[in-house]
Chain A
Amino acid sequence: TQLLEQSPQFLSIQEGENLTVYCNSSSVFSSLQWYRQEPGEGPVLLVTVVTGGEVKKLKRLTFQFGDARKDSSLHITAAQPGDTGLYLCAGGAGGTSYGKLTFGQGTILTVHP
Chain B
Amino acid sequence: GAVVSQHPSWVICKSGTSVKIECRSLDFQATTMFWYRQFPKKSLMLMATSNEGSKATYEQGVEKDKFLINHASLTLSTLTVTSAHPEDSSFYICSAISGGRAGRNIQYFGAGTRLSVL
Taking residues whose C-beta sits less than 8 angstroms from the other chain, chain A's interface range is 20 to 34
Which residue on chain B has the smallest CB distance to residue A106?
Answer: B43
Instruction: State whether the Cβ of B47 lies closer than 8 Å to any Cβ in chain A.
Output: no
State which residues 17-46 of B face A: CB under 8 Å: 32, 34, 41-44, 46
Taking the closest CB of chain A, its distance from the CB of B12, in whole angstroms, is 15
Give the contact stretch, choosing among B61-69, B70-78, B79-87, B110-118: B110-118
> Known interface pairs A40-B112, A40-B114, A108-B41. Does A100 touch B104 (Cβ–Cβ under 8 Å)?
no
B109:A44 contact, CB within 8 angstroms: yes
Which residue on chain A has the smallest CB distance to residue B6?
Answer: A42
Taking residues whose C-beta sits less than 8 angstroms from the other chain, chain B's interface range is 20 to 34
Contact pick for A30, options B42, B91, B105, CB 8 Å: B105
B105:A31 contact, CB within 8 angstroms: yes
Taking the closest CB of chain B, its distance from the CB of A8, in whole angstroms, is 13
CA distance A108 to B43 in the complex (A): 10
CA distance A91 to B109 in the complex (A): 16
> Residues of B contacting A94 with CB < 8 Å?
103, 105
